[in-house]
Amino acid sequence: MTTADAGHSVPERSAASLLQILWLASPALPVGGFSYSEGLEAAVDAGLVHDEASAAAWLTDQLHLGLARSDLAVAAQAIPAWRHHDLPRVRELNHWVLQTRETLEFRLQTEQMGRSLLEWARQLGELGAGVFEQLQAADLNPPTYPVACACAAASAQASVRDSLVGYAFGWAENLVQAAIKSVPLGQSSGQRMLARLAQQIPDAVDHAMALSDDARQAFSPMLAILSARHETQYSRLFRS
């Protein structure tokens, strides 16, 4: 290794890890995240969300009371489990996600997105850094999205915190776009909402990383009621 190589090796590894996390957070990732509103569309139908302010408040609450306490907390524990090849722990976390989805459409969402990420990894072949092989070996049947995404993040070698920040930002981008379409709102409103969520994400991630198994939870009664209503909503744009 030359002196120049030594000077650039760490930054290059950091850049590669960052790019992997940005890739996983991108709305272009073919897992179908754009097709879900996670109850937001039902909240619009019920009149609970009707403008930029109410949409921003709704998504901020969902970030802290829903995502941080469940999927982010699962991913925080799944990433090190994947890195240590602790498949029993991975299966335990995956089972928890499946058992704690509060409605059928929420369970179908995490299953569909998990399977889609598995297929994405398969299509990448050797470019997927062995993600497909790891998911297959775990025999999750089916893989849930936070656990499957944690597998891909684990291969990136980014820190757990950075991985969760990327996961949360990807979620925020999809949900803001859902708000723009369902309220409806303009692109400027969407950008302001995304900026507000970006300010909240670090605290949500820190909360998620601090949660133990006993403290992790998926309990959002109003969201569950709206999701159940959404399953039979007459006119809708989104799958949840």
Encode pLDDT of 7-43 as tens digits.
444 466 688 889 999 999 998 899 999 999 999 999 9
Does residue 205 have a pLDDT over 50?
A: yes
Radius of gyration of the CA atoms of the chain, in A: 18
Six-digit token string for 71:
């999927």
- Tell me if 13 sits within 8 A of 157, measured CB to CB: yes
Helices (H), 32-103: 40-45, 52-62, 71-83, 87-100
Q: What are the tokens at 58?
A: 């709704």
Question: What CA–CA distance (Å, rounded) separates 152 from 129?
Answer: 8
Mean confidence (pLDDT) of the chain: 93
C-alpha 164/C-alpha 116 separation (Å) is 20
pLDDT at 6 over 70: no
Q: What is the pTM of this model?
A: 0.92
pLDDT tens figures, 110-145: 999 999 999 999 999 888 879 999 999 999 989 999
Peptide bond into 30 cis (omega under 30): no
CA atoms within 13 A on the CB side of 237: 16
**DSSP helix/strand/coil, 70:** coil
